[in-house]
Amino acid sequence: MLDKNGSTPLHAQLRDTLRSGIVGGRLSAGSQLPSERELCEAYGVSRVTVRQALSQLLQERLIYRSVGKGTYVAGPRLQEELRPLSSFTEDMQRRGMVASSEVIAAIAVPADERLSAKLAAPRGSQLAYLHRIRLGDGQPICLQHTWVPLRFCPDLLQHDLARESLFAVLRSSRLKLVRAETEIEAALAGPEEARLLRLASPAAVLISEQTAYLDTGDAVEFTRSIFRADRYVLHTRTN
C-alpha cells in the first residue's frame, strides 16, 4: 500500500510500486496492467495520480499503450552497439537468441535512380531485392529491405535466405566486405510496417540505412532496416 502521510508524492510511490513489479518479474512482459479505474480503487488514489505514474513509466518505456485495448508491460529492449559489418544473425547469436527470417520477397529488380546513386550501379542494371522480417526467438525485431548488385553474386537469389545469412553468402563468394556507412532516424511505423512487426499504431520505429563496401571500393549492399523501438536500442561506441 501507499504511504499517504509520507513525504514522497503518491504518483511517485505508485510509479515505483509498478516499476518494481515489472523489473522484478511479477508483472511479465506482454501482460496487461489494470485499468486506470482499477488502479485508483486498488491504491486509493485519484485518476490524476494514476495517470502521472503511468506517464512516467511510458517515458521509461517500461509499458506501452494499445489504443482501445489498454496498457501493457513492455518486453526487454535489445541494446545494439552499431557493428556495421555484423549480420543480424550474428547480433542475435551474441545475445544467446535464435535468429530466423521470413522472406516476403526475393526477386531481381532494375536499379532506379535512387538505388543507382546508393550503389553506384548503372541505372536499369539488375539488383537482387530481399524483403525480410527478422526475428529473435520467434518475435519480430525488424523489417529489412536489401538490394545487392547481381554482378557481384549472380546466384544470390538461389540461396535460402530465410535460413542463410546474406553476409555469409556474400563472403562465401570471395567478396571482402571492409566498411559500411550507416544513417539512423526515428519515425512512426506505417500501417504495413506496424502489421508485420505486430505493433499497435501509432508506434515508433528506428530506421537504419546501411551501405556496405568491398575492398575494391565498390558498394555491394544497401539495406533499409525498420526496427521496433520498443525492443531495440541503437547506440555507438568510440574507442
The C-alpha cell 521496433 sits at: 228
Number of helices (H) and strands (E) in the chain: give both, helices first. Answer: 7, 10
- Averaged pLDDT, 134-149: 90
Closest CA to 156 of 175, 182, 143: 175
Closest CA to 228 of 86, 109, 75: 75
Compute the distance between CA of residue 168 and CA of residue 128 in angstroms, rounded to an integer: 16
Cell of 152: 557481384
Q: How far is CA 60 from the centre of its chain?
A: 17
Model pTM score = 0.64
What separation in angstroms does the CA of 101 have from each of 92, 120, 135, 172?
Answer: 12, 28, 6, 20
Closest CA to 189 of 137, 236, 139, 228: 228
- Grade residue 62 by pLDDT with cuts at 50, 70 and 90: confident
Q: Check whether the bond before 76 is cis (ω within 30° of 0).
A: no
Say how many C-beta atoms besides its own lie within 10 A of residue 128's C-beta: 23
Compute the distance between CA of residue 16 and CA of residue 51 in angstroms, rounded to an integer: 14
What separation in angstroms does the CA of 162 have from each of 7, 83, 134, 158?
Answer: 56, 22, 9, 12
What are the structural domains of the chain? 10-73 (1.10.10.10), 78-235 (3.40.1410.10)
What letter does residue 189 receive in the DSSP assignment? Answer: P
Model confidence over 186-205: pLDDT tens digits? Answer: 788 888 998 999 887 777 78
Contact by Cβ (8 Å): 136, 95: yes
pLDDT more than 70, % of the chain: 85
Model confidence over 71-128: pLDDT tens digits? Answer: 888 765 544 444 555 667 677 776 677 888 899 999 999 999 999 999 999 999 999 9
Closest CA to 141 of 229, 29, 227, 78: 227
Angle at CA 75, nearest 5°, toward 72 and 80? Answer: 145
